[in-house]
Amino acid sequence: MNILKKQSFLGSQRSETPLQIIIMGPQGSGKGTQAEMLARELGIRHVCTGDLLREMAQKDAKIKEAIDRGELLPPEIVIPLVRKNLMECRKGFVLDGAPRNTEQAQMLGIHIDHVIYLDIPDKKVIERLSSRLQCMECRAIYGKDMPPKVQGKCDKCGSELRHRDDDNPETIRKRLKVFHEETEKVMKYYERKRLLRKVDASGKPEEVFERILKAIKPPARL
């Protein structure tokens, strides 16, 4: 989207009000990529709870163990960390990775404009995650749909690409189970608040991105 289109997109939002967006979907739905694209497009920040917690895990072995086992961390750790980061986002944010259950949604206590749900079948998730690689330095993600230019090296910073410790089939299945049990209740929670925007997550990243922009674009004024 060019700058003129961007201005007209933002121009029709409530003036001066930052856009506060949650992006949801199972791991491998392209959530991180779409959150990055959206943040860049709208000039707002991408806040990723997985990255915040992995950073914390470097200094805390218990947190690292829970992440490697694919378990959710307690809300008393996650929510204050997320709130602190969101409150620093004066221009708005795309929150990726929380809330994971209704308890977290209720504890969040921050105004939300849209909750984007990326819809994708489990089979496709397992296929995508098994081939996913992440940069150890800048956390950029690569996969079959987005391979790096040089094998094993990050396009952005040239660092080494690796499989994440929690991207193995056993942990993926566990994470999907947790997702279906808990996150779908969160979807219903936001559906009742009329904030849920369901988007088909199949196809190329650019195609999914266009669908997202369409889903959050305010209706034209008469």
Residue 50 makes contact with ligand AMP by CB under 6 A: yes
Which residue from 78, 120, 196, 208 is in contact with ligand AMP, where contact means CB under 6 A? 78
From CA 91, how far away is CA 197, in angstroms rounded? 21
User: What residues have CB less than 8 Å from 41, skipping those under 6 apart?
Assistant: 1, 6, 209, 213
**Shortest distance, position 122 Cβ to ligand AMP, whole Å:** 15
CB 47 within 8 A of CB 89: yes
CB 207 within 8 A of CB 172: no
Nearer CB in complex with ligand AMP: 6/66: 66
CB environment 21-60: b (16+ within 10 A), e (fewer): bbbbbbbbbbbbbbbbbbbebbebbbbbbbebbbebbeee
φ/ψ region of 135 (left if φ > 0, alpha if ψ in -120 to 50, else beta) reads beta
From CA 198, how far away is CA 191, in angstroms rounded? 10
Q: Looking up tokens 């969040």, which residue turns up? A: 108
User: What residues have CB less than 8 Å from 163, skipping those under 6 apart?
Assistant: 132, 133, 134
Nearer CB in complex with ligand AMP: 5/55: 55
Q: Between residue 156 and residue 175, which ones bind ligand AMP under the rule CB under 6 A?
A: 166, 175
**Shortest distance, position 13 Cβ to ligand AMP, whole Å:** 27
From CA 200, how far away is CA 207, in angstroms rounded? 9
Nearer CB in complex with ligand AMP: 163/217: 163
**Shortest distance, position 96 Cβ to ligand AMP, whole Å:** 7
CB 37 within 8 A of CB 216: no
Which residue from 23, 24, 67, 140 is in contact with ligand AMP, where contact means CB under 6 A? 67
Which residue from 37, 39, 53, 125 is in contact with ligand AMP, where contact means CB under 6 A? 53
Residue 71 makes contact with ligand AMP by CB under 6 A: yes
Determine the interface stretch with ligand AMP among 10-18, 97-105, 145-153, 154-162 (rule: CB under 6 A).
97-105
Residues identified as active-site: 31, 100, 132, 164, 175
Q: Which residue is nearest to ligand AMP (CB)?
A: 50
**Shortest distance, position 196 Cβ to ligand AMP, whole Å:** 18
Residue 70 makes contact with ligand AMP by CB under 6 A: yes
Using CB under 6 A, list all residues that contact ligand AMP.
27, 49-50, 53, 66-67, 70-73, 78, 97-98, 100, 104, 166, 175
